Structure formats: structure tokens, C-alpha cells
Amino acid sequence: MSSLVLHAFAVPGKGSLQLSVHGYGNLPGQLLNISLQPDGSVSMAMAISGKLQTAYGSFFVTGTGVWIGATNGSTLSGTIQSVTGQVQICVLSCSNANFVGKGNWTGSMMNLAASGTLTGTITFTNSPYPQQLPPNQMIPISGTWNAQLPQ
């Protein structure tokens, strides 16, 4: 797996991430609508957009997900839920391979600047090229993230 380096946006309530999809490469993304509540609960929306490499070529990927968690002092942790997305594959014609996913995230915070790591899996629910994007098999993902939390 590749190691990832992420850069935080300077705008409160936004962040960046990059995922390493085991065997396929890295995908950039954003964390949006970051919310830090007085009770310590944290929520973020994830949007990924980039290209994955397969034996058939490089294909465009989009996806979304929801990060839910909590703070405990300067540490943060939670789950990544409701991940959905698709890979648009155009060889002779175009078709989509859809995926779902889930995971966990952890991190630390100092002066509302937060960073950390994530792990999880994605599973293709269908695939026009099952040899390259196997359906119903969990594919590991990992990465790191940075964010500027709102006050």
C-alpha cells in the first residue's frame, strides 16, 4: 500500500483526504460541512473524485460518505458510513461499476486543526470487468486526512 500525505484547507469546516485503494492507487477527496458540536460530537461529509488504475486503463471514480464521531480531549475518532460511489469504465462502450464502503477514522486536534488516519473497505456491487474490479469482495482502503474544524 502507498503512504499518503494530505494538506488541510485553511477554511474552517473543510479538509482534504486521499485514499489508498489496495491494488489500484490513490484517490483525492475533500471533507466538507465539518461540524464540531458543544457535546463533542463531530460530523463531516466526504467526497472523493479521481482516477483508479486497472489493466484496462485509468477510469474516473466518484464517491460520497458520512463521517460520524466524537472528541475526547484532543483526540477524535469515529466511523465512516453510507459510502457509495462508482467507477466509470469506458473501453468499447461506457458502463459503471458501483461500490459501497465503510470504515473507521482517528485523529488528533490542536487549536481546531485536526489530522489523522482512516481504514476501511469498499465492495463493488456490480462490475462490467469482474477480473479487474471483482464484485462482492472487500477491498482494503486506508489513508490520512487533515481538516480545519469550525469554532
DSSP string, 59-108: EEEEEEEEEEEEEETTEEEEEEEEEEEEEEEESSSEEEEEEEEEEEEEEE
Q: How many Å apart are CA 60 and CA 83, to the nearest integer?
A: 17
d(CA 98, CA 86): 4
Report d(CA 61, CA 77) in Å as an integer.
26
Q: What is the pLDDT of residues 34-88, one digit of tens each?
A: 888 889 999 999 999 998 877 677 889 999 999 999 999 999 999 999 999 999 9
Domain span holding position 54: 14-145
How far is 39 from 36, CA to CA, in rounded Å?
8
Separation in Å, CA 76 to CA 31, 59, 107, 128: 15, 33, 5, 39
CATH number for the domain including 35?
2.40.160
* Assigned domain for 9 exists: no
Report the alpha-carbon distance of residue 86 to residue 92 in Å, rounded: 18
26 has pLDDT over 50: yes
pLDDT averaged over the chain?
A: 87
CA torsion 26→142→14→63, rounded to 10°? 60
pLDDT at 2 over 90: no
Strand, coil or helix: 112: coil
Decide if pLDDT at 120 tops 90: yes
**How many structural domains is the chain composed of?**
1
Rounded CA-CA distance 61/58 in Å is: 10
In a domain, 112, yes or no: yes
The answer to whether residue 20 sits within a structural domain is yes
What pLDDT score was predicted for residue 94? 87
pLDDT of residue 20: 92
